[in-house]
Amino acid sequence: LQKSLSEIFGADKYSRARKEVLTYMFSRPMQMALYFCTGVLDDETLFHHYALNVPFYTHFTSPIRRYADVVVHRLLSASLGATPPIKMEKEAIQKQADHCNDRKMASKRVQELSADLFFSIFVRVRP
């Protein structure tokens, strides 16, 4: 897909922007990952990662980026015995996960609206 987009959109000053917007629009229908506390879910199939086809999966990036990643780092560290257990109830962890999901969804919505606006302006000014 990336190669096809690169070939189709040429090398003018708008080609990169066209490719980025359309690539984003193609990926929009994909289901967004959600944060959750495993202790509040009974259905272990929800831990599955479809694309990687692994039954249990967790994801995190550098803990300097997002609070959710800080929590995951702390929980993993405690589960490995490197640090003391976390003194939080699973419901409190789930409440934080819900808040992170809410903020992530809001951010995604603003990003989508921005892409829609850019695309509308782009279509309007292009012959």
Summary mean pLDDT of the chain: 82
Look up residue 14 and give its two tokens: 């708008």
For the stretch 53-91, what's the b/e string if a residue is b when 16 or more beta carbons lie within 10 angstroms of its beta carbon? eeeeeeebeeeeebebbebbeebeeeeeeeeeeeeeeee
Residue identified by tokens 């012959």 is 127
List, in order, residues 6 or more apart from 83 with CB less than 8 Å away: 74, 77
Residue 28 clears pLDDT 70, i.e. is over it: no
Nearest to 111 by CA among 31, 26, 32, 24: 24
81: alpha, beta or left? (left if phi > 0; alpha if psi -120 to 50): left
Residue 9 clears pLDDT 80, i.e. is over it: no
pLDDT tens figures, 40-72: 888 888 788 877 888 888 877 776 778 888 888
The size of the chain, in residues, is 127
Residue 77, pLDDT score:
92
Does 104 or 9 have the greater pLDDT score? 104
CB contact at 8 A, 69 and 12: no
